[in-house]
Chain A
Amino acid sequence: MLWEALFLQLGYNATLVTLGACFLGVAAGVTGTFLFLRKRALVSDAISHATLPGVALAFIVMVTFGGDGRHLIGLLLGSAASAGIGLLCVSWLTRYTRLAEDAAIGAVLSVFFGFGIVLLTIIQSMSAGRQAGLEGFLLGSTAGMLWSDAIVILIGGLATLALVLAFRRPMSLVAFDPEFAAANGMNVARIDLLIMGLAMAVTVVGLKIVGLILIVAMLIIPPVTARFWTDRTDHVSLISGIVGGVSGYVGAGLSASAPNVPTGPIIVLVSFALFCVALFFAPNRGVLAAVLRHFRFQHRVHMRQGLLALAQGQPIYEKLTLRLLQRAGLARPDGVATEAGRARAAKALRDEKRWEVVRADQAFEGAAALYDGLREIETVLTQDQITEIDHRIGGPAGVPT
Chain B
Amino acid sequence: MSLELAANQGTAPIADQVDDSPLAIRGMTVSYGQKPVVFSVDMTVTQGAMTAIVGPNGAGKSTLLKAALGIVKPLSGQSMIYGQSLKSQRHRIAYVPQRASVDWDFPTRVIDVVLMGLYRELGLLRRIRPRHHDKAMACLDRVGMTDFAERQIGQLSGGQQQRVFLARALAQEADLYLLDEPFAGVDAATEKAIISVLKGLRDEGKTVVAVHHDLSTVNEYFDRVFMINTRKIAEGSVAEAFTAANLEKTYGGRLVTGQIDQLDLAAG
- Is A183 interfacial (CB-CB < 8 Å)? yes
Given contacts A169-B122, A184-B119, contact A177 B102 (CB under 8 A): yes
- Is B139 interfacial (CB-CB < 8 Å)? no
Are B125 and A166 in contact, with the CB atoms below 8 A? yes
- Is A227 interfacial (CB-CB < 8 Å)? yes
Size of chain B's interface in residues, with CB distance under 8 A?
Answer: 33
Are A183 and B188 in contact, with the CB atoms below 8 A? no
Residue of A nearest to B96 (CB): A180
Are A183 and B1 in contact, with the CB atoms below 8 A? no
Binary interface encoding of chain A residues 154-168 relative to chain B, with 1 for a CB under 8 A from any of its CBs, else 0: 000000000000110
- Is A233 interfacial (CB-CB < 8 Å)? yes
Question: Known pairs A167-B124, A176-B116, A183-B71. 7 more at Cβ < 8 A?
Answer: A177-B97, A179-B97, A182-B70, A183-B90, A183-B178, A185-B90, A231-B109
Are B109 and A37 in contact, with the CB atoms below 8 A? no
- Is B87 interfacial (CB-CB < 8 Å)? yes
Are B119 and A166 in contact, with the CB atoms below 8 A? no
- Is A170 interfacial (CB-CB < 8 Å)? yes
Residue of B nearest to A366 (CB): B189
User: Closest approach, in angstroms, between the C-beta of B66 and any C-beta of chain A?
Assistant: 7
Contact of B93 among A177, A183, A366 (CB under 8 A): A183
Are B124 and A177 in contact, with the CB atoms below 8 A? no
Contact of B124 among A166, A232, A366 (CB under 8 A): A166
- Is B253 interfacial (CB-CB < 8 Å)? no
User: Closest approach, in angstroms, between the C-beta of B53 and any C-beta of chain A?
Assistant: 16
Q: Considering the chains assembled together, what is the distance between the CA atoms of A184 and B71 in angstroms?
A: 9
- Is B108 interfacial (CB-CB < 8 Å)? yes
Q: Which residues of chain B come closer than 8 Å to A185, judged between CB atoms?
A: 70, 87, 90
- Is A360 interfacial (CB-CB < 8 Å)? no
Residue of A nearest to B126 (CB): A169
Are A177 and B116 in contact, with the CB atoms below 8 A? yes
Binary interface encoding of chain B residues 108-121 relative to chain A, with 1 for a CB under 8 A from any of its CBs, else 0: 11001100100110
- Is A65 interfacial (CB-CB < 8 Å)? no
Are A232 and B107 in contact, with the CB atoms below 8 A? yes
Q: Which residues of chain B come closer than 8 Å to A173, judged between CB atoms?
A: 116, 119
